[in-house]
Structure 1
Amino acid sequence: MDLQLANRVAVVTGGSKGIGLAIVRTLLEEGVRVVAASRKSSAELEALADDALTHVEADLMDPEAPARVMERAAEVYGGLDILVNNAGGPPPGVTLPRASFLDASDQEWRAVFEFNLFSAVRAIRAAIPLLRKRGGGTIINISSVNARQPSPLNVDYGAAKAGLNNLTKVLSSEFGPEGIRVNTISPGPVRTPWWTDDGGVVDIIASRTGTDRDDVIGALVPEMMKLTTGRVVEPTEIADMVALLASPRSANTTGAEFVIDSGLLKEL
């Protein structure tokens, strides 16, 4: 299927690893020119080096950073068609999952909201004028099933992502008549560095349960979370949905949430 994405311009936040890296790679394969924003690059991102890829070092918790990223896209590639707000998870100094709601301080709540919600708000604010100049475009917000599955283990993160879901609906309604589509993808557990890096979620669960880390990701997590498919999500599965939602073939899809969670959410 031709997704008709060739020569379009995208900004992907958190684009150096995990889901963001997979999104960057998939969009490049579809002929998109991509600006990947992250605090620092990675060997995997550098391996994709191409005239169609620009990396911008940016701490998206800096209120001025999102606007600088959008300006760079306009400067290098002449505009913007697609914004993927992917940056998220625990910001520096915050460790998730927690043991209880009581473990999160005011400072940690603020940091989690800055990274998971306010950075997206600022990126969207800076992107809309560029999308308007193109006569429309698409914004894709990467949320989480935690937005709809409350948990004391990630209470601040879930609250921030719930805000992002609400924001998607508001933006879709306000800017849809101008041709700007806004949708949400809500992943479940995904095989990303947040889970698999040393000291990540897998190690935290392994230390609490006395389980081997390979068994945690391969068996314990699917069992604990009652994953229907029996396995965690791969980053490319999120990236494929991003590409479809970014495509003109999804021209009448807006204000929607797409859950890719291995069947974790069972409720209507």
Structure 2
Amino acid sequence: MDLQLSGRVAVITGASKGIGLAVTRTLLDEGVRVVAASRTSTPELEALSGDLLHVPTDLMDPEAPAQIVEKAVTEFGGLDILVNNAGGPPPGVTLPRFGFLAATDEDWRAMFEFNLFSVVRTVRAAITPMLARGEGSIVNISSANAHSPAPMNVDYNAAKAGLNNLTKALSEEFAPQGIRVNTVSPGPVRTAWWTKSGGAADIIAAQAGTDRDSVINKVAPEMMKLTTGRLAEPQEIADVVALLASPRSASTTGADFAVDSGFLKQI
């Protein structure tokens, strides 16, 4: 299928690894000119070919989103696609947290700053150049946990639920002006959040009295009742993002797409 994306300009946050790296690679393969924003680069990002510009940035800085968008407009002449992928634990934070009382006020502030307020600022910066184009697609990477309230990571879940609400509101306001806004809600994905040393798999392994590989391959899928029996791969999320970014999805806006291995059971 031709996604009709060649020559378009995209900004992707959290682009150096995991889901963001997979989205960056996928859009480059479709001929998109990509501004990849992340705190640091990675060998995997640097190995990609195509019209790619890496912008080192820290989205905890309120000025960063506007600077990223300005780079896209300056270097590539405009903006068509925004993928707000950066999220999860704020810099220096490790999840999961067990229970509501485990998070302080500062923990809540940092979580919302990274997972919601940075998106608000990036969208605010992106809207003007998209309006100038007469169209655009914004894809916000949310989480299946936004739909599944639980005491584990309650601050993260609440921030992502806010992101879903924001997405609906943005779609309602800007779809008549040609800007579509959707969310993709992954479940557990085989990324560094799970696999890195000291990451979620190690933390759960310590609680469960097992090892990291067992958590990733057996304990977590069983604990989360994943219908497929496995964590998703980043590319599986990237494929959905690419379709939503495409004019092929011209009538899709204000929607949420679960790519969650069957985690969500609700209708």
Bucket of the pairwise TM-score, normalised by the shorter protein:
over 0.9
For the Cα contact (< 8 Å) 2:167–2:181, is it kept in 1? yes
Q: Give the TM-score of the pair, scaled to structure 2.
A: 0.99
For the Cα contact (< 8 Å) 2:28–2:49, is it kept in 1? no
- Residue of structure 2 in register with 1:171 after alignment: 170
Distance in 2 of aligned mates of 1:41 and 1:197: 17
Distance in 2 of aligned mates of 1:13 and 1:128: 16
Q: What do the CA deviations read for 1:224-249 (whole angstroms, capped 9, x no partner)?
A: 11100111110000000010001101
For the Cα contact (< 8 Å) 2:243–2:249, is it kept in 1? yes
Which residue type is aligned with residue 15 of structure 2?
G
Q: How far off its partner does 1:215 sit?
A: 1.2
Q: What do the CA deviations read for 1:140-180 (whole angstroms, capped 9, x no partner)?
A: 00000111111211100000000000000000000010000
For the Cα contact (< 8 Å) 2:226–2:263, is it kept in 1? yes
- Residue of structure 2 in register with 1:14 after alignment: 14
- Residue of structure 1 in register with 2:226 after alignment: 227
Matches within 5 A, 1:100-179: 100-179=99-178
Partner of 1:236: helix, strand, or coil?
helix
Partner of 1:199: helix, strand, or coil?
coil
Distance in 1 of aligned mates of 2:109 and 2:262: 31
Q: What do the CA deviations read for 1:80-124 (whole angstroms, capped 9, x no partner)?
A: 000000000011232211121101000010000000000000000
Distance in 2 of aligned mates of 1:147 and 1:120: 16
For the Cα contact (< 8 Å) 2:182–2:255, is it kept in 1? yes
For the Cα contact (< 8 Å) 1:96–1:153, is it kept in 2? no
Distance in 2 of aligned mates of 1:228 and 1:262: 6
For the Cα contact (< 8 Å) 1:84–1:142, is it kept in 2? yes
- Residue of structure 2 in register with 1:86 after alignment: 85
Q: How far off its partner does 1:49 sit?
A: 4.6
Distance in 1 of aligned mates of 2:151 and 2:58: 27
Partner of 1:107: helix, strand, or coil?
helix
Superposition RMSD on alpha carbons, in Å? 0.7
- Residue of structure 1 in register with 2:95 after alignment: 96
For the Cα contact (< 8 Å) 1:233–1:261, is it kept in 2? yes
Q: How far off its partner does 1:211 sit?
A: 1.0
Distance in 1 of aligned mates of 2:26 and 2:153: 29
- Identical pairs, percent: 71
- Residue of structure 2 in register with 1:245 after alignment: 244
Distance in 2 of aligned mates of 1:197 and 1:95: 11
- Aligned pairs, number: 267
Q: How far off its partner does 1:208 sit?
A: 1.0
Distance in 2 of aligned mates of 1:100 and 1:242: 32
Partner of 1:115: helix, strand, or coil?
helix
Which residue type is aligned with residue 219 of structure 2?
L
- Residue of structure 2 in register with 1:38 after alignment: 38
State the 4+ residue runs in structure 1 displaced beyond 3 angstroms. Answer: none
- Residue of structure 2 in register with 1:55 after alignment: 54
Q: Give the TM-score of the pair, scaled to structure 1.
A: 0.98
